[in-house]
Every structure is written in C-alpha cells, then in structure tokens.
Amino acid sequence: MTEAEARREILGKVREYYHCFHDGKRWDGKHVSYGGRVYDEREMENLTEAMLDFGLTAGRFAMAFERNFAAYIGVKHCALVNSGSSANLLAFHTLTSPLLGEKRICRGDEVITVAAGFPTTVAPILQYGAVPVFVDVTLPQYNIDVSMLEEALSPKTKAVMIAHTLGNPFDVKAVVDFCQKHDLWLVEDNCDAVGAAYCLDGNWRKTGTFGHLSTVSFYPPHHMTMGEGGAVFTNDDLLAKIMVSLRDWGRDCTCAPGQDNRCKHRFDRQYGKLPFGYDHKYVYSHLGFNLKATEMQGAIGLAQMEKLPDFVKKRRYHFDYLLTLLENCGEKVILPEVAENAMASPFGFLLTCREDISRENIVSQLEEKGIQTRPLFAGNLLRHPCFDTLEKGVDYRVIGELPVTDRILRDTFWVGVYPGLTAEQLAYEGEVLYDAIRKA
C-alpha cells in the first residue's frame, strides 16, 4: 500500500466515524445553548491530515488559513495566534514597538476604550503600563458613545481600542474620523463580529478593515472555531512585520519555520551590539512572546472557512426571527438595534430590561427551562475585583459616571443565535423568551 492509498483509507474511516458517532445528534427538547461548535467530517478529515503530516507547529494548513482569512476580511496581512485574547495582546503590543518612533505607545500614554465588554480588550493596556480612558456606551447599540470621544482626548492619547459589541458594528465613521483628526491608532476588536460590514463613504467593507490593526477569536462559541485560536490583521507592512516578530519570540528574522536564509544574508550582517555575522535566525528585535497557533488548529480553521458565509447568514436569520417575535415586547425590554450604515453579524441577541422589570426574574425562568443566558461579559469592568487589586501606580481615567454601562451591568442579558440552532430549538427559545418577558 502506498502512502497516498493509506491516507485515503484512513480519511474514509474518519468520514465513517463522523457519520456514525457525530452526525445526526438529536435535540433533547429541553436545552438550548448560547453557542457552540458547528462542524462536519471536513474538519475531522483536515485534523487527521495534519496529524498524519505530524508537523505540529504552523505549516501548510496554518499558512493557507492565514492567506484565505486575510482575503475574506479584505486585508493584506493575517497572523494566526493561539486565542482571541492573545490577538488583542499582540495587536496592542505591536503599537509599542520602537520601530514606530514617536508614534509608539509608551508607558503612561492613554488609550480610549469602554468598560462594557470583554476584559481582554482592556487588559493589555493596563498590563503594559498604559492608561485606559473609559467612556460610556449607548443603548440599544451597546457600542462606544462617540459624543464622548473629544472629552476623553488628552495630550497623552495615542490610540482607541474598542470592540464591535456582540457583532453590531460601532459608529465606524465617527471613530475613524476622530482617529484621523488626531493622528491616533485604531485597534478594532472584531472578535464577536466576523462577517459584519459597514458602509463608509459609500463603500461596504467588512469590519476588521477599518483599524490599523484588528483582531478575531476562534473560541468555540464564536463565528467559526479552531477550539482555541485567534488572529491579528493589518494592511500596514511595518505593523505586519512587528506583529509577526512579537508573536514569534521577538525574532528579527522573517523566515518561515523550517526555512533558512531566504534573504541570503543570514551570516553577513551587524545587529545591535552582537558580533558581526551572528546567526540572524537568533537575533531578537523585540521583547516578544510565543503566541503561535498549531498546524492542527489551522487545519480545522481551513475547513470552518468553507462554512463561514453560511454561518453568518444563519446568525442573521436567527437574530431577525427573535426580533420579529418580540416586536410587541418593547414596554418590557429594550430590543437591540443595528447601527446606522451597518450590517451586523450577530454573536447573540441582546436585551435590556426596562427600569421596573427584573432581569433576574426573566433569566431564572429561561435557565430553568434550559435556555442558556449570558450577561454582556463584564458588564462594567470597573466594578470587578480585578480593579480593586490593581497594583499601586497602575492608573486609569473615567469620563463621567458611565450610567449606561452600569445599566448594562444591572439589566442586560443575551441568548444565542449561533448557526447550530435547529428550527425546533430556535422556536423553543423564542417561545420561552417571549413568555418570560410577557410575564415579567
């Protein structure tokens, strides 16, 4: 038997295994998850192929994924990493590189952001020693209140780092105009919004193309998955060079893993105070990390990409179904709205209870009947124990009292619209949700 024949036989058995033990699982009629992995035999075949290659670290699958996903988003450069949180860490630290000169973010510089979201959009700022400046958000979009941007600005401001909340694009035009006016970096956290789009100056573009850097996550509930995984994007060649260096230990060499001396100058250059001719593969231009993903993750992601357009389409359909179903519940809850000039790629269906309605009452009814719910992540990150235990000297600023952020902390929850929901599950979720709201 040849290797090619052996592979065909193994992959055939993998397909059989999938259809026997993974395909056609029946819904129990009781539980509806807020999110989850959606896959078929293609992911298992790709994973098996990567296992048979036994390359382990990023190789042909991972590199193909980077090319394909960059093309899907509409950018030049994509760096695959091990999580969405690592993507945010890498994107932020890219802007601290000495190669950026006076534009680099230094300790003590300020970055405008919001507290109503996921903590790892903010954590890299504090961990580095920069100063997050928190502004409020708006209802019912749950995105940054752009009217507060000028008030948040100071001579120390270097960047804006914010997310498209739960797949609903923020006011891209206002944010981009603000950043251009004041020569600021924009880091676009696109982890919950893959496939969303915004019309800027008459042109529709996917979110993730407006920032100097943007990030995505491939954790199982997200728009597509590798298990763990994430990526950073940019159209800027210098930023791309920096982000890959930082991802890969801080190395100066740009050869791919297993590749030597692509530039033909591996041993004939002077770097810093190193001896002349020191091996360029072991020259470090940054104090970096190891944030790389594996070949197995790239293989799964490549198969998931084939399904991504359909995933986004189903999320929009599920979101619109719930929105139509609940259209007469406005006196009890604030229904979500997509931002102007935007097309959402919903991560979930967000609801905020009116002032005299108890979120806990609605959520408890949903959970008792098997409908998973989630808050809007941290709600208000500043209220969490991590901010009570910040080291002395770690600083941040808050613009105003953040009343809407506190409202979200108190009154907001969401349910799932992920593409794995069957028609029966979606109908059950909608029925239980409608009844719980009407009885509130």
CATH assignment of the domain containing 151: 3.40.640.10
pLDDT for the residue 364: 98
pLDDT for the residue 427: 98
Under the banding of pLDDT at 50, 70 and 90, the label for residue 144 is very high
Under the banding of pLDDT at 50, 70 and 90, the label for residue 125 is very high
- Terminal-residue alpha carbon distance, the chain: 67
Average pLDDT over every residue of 86-106: 98
Q: Are residues 233 and 366 in the same domain?
A: no
Sheet bearing 203-206, strands edge to edge:
203-206, 197-200, 342-343
Q: Are residues 169 and 262 in the same domain?
A: yes
CA-angle at 238, arms to 57 and 251, nearest 5° = 40
Q: Are residues 88 and 195 in the same domain?
A: yes
Residue 43 has pLDDT above 90, yes or no: yes
List the structure tokens of 284.
């470090």
Share of the chain above pLDDT 70, in %: 100
Average pLDDT over every residue of 312-330: 98
Residue 373 has pLDDT above 90, yes or no: yes
Number of domains within the chain: 2
Average pLDDT over every residue of 183-190: 98
Look at strands 348-353 and 333-334 and give their pairing. Answer: antiparallel
CA-atom Rg of the chain in angstroms: 23
Q: Is residue 328 part of a domain?
A: yes
Q: Which residue, 249, 271, 297, sits at the end of a domain?
A: 297
Q: Are residues 340 and 293 in the same domain?
A: no
Contact 135, 114 (CB under 8 A): yes
**Position 244, amino acid:** V
- When the pLDDT of each residue in the chain is averaged and rounded to a whole number, the result is 96
Q: Is residue 214 part of a domain?
A: yes
pLDDT for the residue 58: 86
Q: Are residues 240 and 286 in the same domain?
A: yes
pLDDT for the residue 254: 87
Q: How many CB atoms lie within 10 A of CB 4?
A: 8
222 among known catalytic residues: yes
Residue 122 has pLDDT above 80, yes or no: yes
Q: Are residues 248 and 382 in the same domain?
A: no
Contact 220, 37 (CB under 8 A): yes
Residue 403 has pLDDT above 90, yes or no: yes
Among the listed ranges 259-273, 329-343, 366-380, 397-411, which one has the minimum average pLDDT value? 259-273
Give dist(CA 206, CA 102) in Å, integer: 30
Average pLDDT over every residue of 270-280: 95
Rounded to 5, what percent of the chain is helix, strand, coil? 40, 15, 40
Give dist(CA 379, CA 57) in Å, integer: 37
pLDDT for the residue 259: 84
Give dist(CA 400, CA 415) in Å, integer: 30
Residue 393 has pLDDT above 80, yes or no: no
Residue 5 has pLDDT above 90, yes or no: yes
CA 232 to the chain's CA centroid? 9
Average pLDDT over every residue of 348-359: 97
Give dist(CA 413, CA 283) in Å, integer: 49
Task: Report pLDDT digits (tens) over 203-251.
Answer: 999 999 999 999 999 999 999 999 999 999 999 999 999 999 999 999 9
The residues near 345 (Cβ < 8 Å, ≥ 6 apart) are 167, 193, 194, 195, 196, 197, 207, 223, 312, 315, 316
Residue 394 has pLDDT above 90, yes or no: no
Q: Are residues 118 and 222 in the same domain?
A: yes
Average pLDDT over every residue of 362-387: 97
Contact 220, 36 (CB under 8 A): yes
Q: Which residue has the tokens 């996917």?
A: 206
Give dist(CA 348, CA 216) in Å, integer: 16
pLDDT for the residue 226: 96
Instruction: Find the catalytic residue in 93, 212, 222, 280.
Output: 222
Q: What is the pTM of this model?
A: 0.96
Under the banding of pLDDT at 50, 70 and 90, the label for residue 256 is confident
Q: How many CB atoms lie within 10 A of CB 154?
A: 12
Query: In a 3-state reduction of DSSP, which class is residue 364?
Result: helix
Nearest to 350 by CA among 407, 292, 425, 275: 407
Give dist(CA 184, CA 176) in Å, integer: 9
pLDDT for the residue 390: 85
Contact 378, 119 (CB under 8 A): yes
pLDDT for the residue 392: 76
Q: Are residues 159 and 140 in the same domain?
A: yes
The residues near 261 (Cβ < 8 Å, ≥ 6 apart) are 255
Query: In a 3-state reduction of DSSP, which class is residue 12?
Result: helix
pLDDT for the residue 170: 98
Look at strands 230-234 and 77-81 and give their pairing. Answer: antiparallel
Under the banding of pLDDT at 50, 70 and 90, the label for residue 263 is confident
Contact 168, 143 (CB under 8 A): yes
Q: Which domain holds residue 131?
A: 44-297
Helix/strand number for the chain, H first, E second? 13, 14
Give dist(CA 174, CA 229) in Å, integer: 30
Q: Are residues 326 and 260 in the same domain?
A: no
Give dist(CA 364, CA 344) in Å, integer: 28
Sheet bearing 213-217, strands edge to edge:
77-81, 230-234, 213-217, 185-189, 157-163, 110-114, 131-135, 397-398
Q: Is residue 9 part of a domain?
A: no
User: Which segment, 25-39, 49-63, 327-341, is predicted with the most confidence on average?
Assistant: 327-341
Q: Which residue, 267, 297, 327, sits at the end of a domain?
A: 297
CATH assignment of the domain containing 434: 3.90.1150.10
Q: Are residues 213 and 86 in the same domain?
A: yes
Q: Are residues 235 and 382 in the same domain?
A: no
Contact 298, 80 (CB under 8 A): yes
393 compared with 15, residue with greater pLDDT: 15
CA 151 to the chain's CA centroid? 27
Q: Which residue, 270, 297, 324, sits at the end of a domain?
A: 297
pLDDT for the residue 8: 96
Half-sphere CA count of 83, side-chain side, radius 13 A: 7
CA 383 to the chain's CA centroid? 23
Q: Are residues 343 and 262 in the same domain?
A: no
Say how many residues make up the chain. 440
Residue 411 has pLDDT above 90, yes or no: yes
pLDDT for the residue 429: 98
Under the banding of pLDDT at 50, 70 and 90, the label for residue 257 is confident
Share of the chain above pLDDT 90, in %: 92
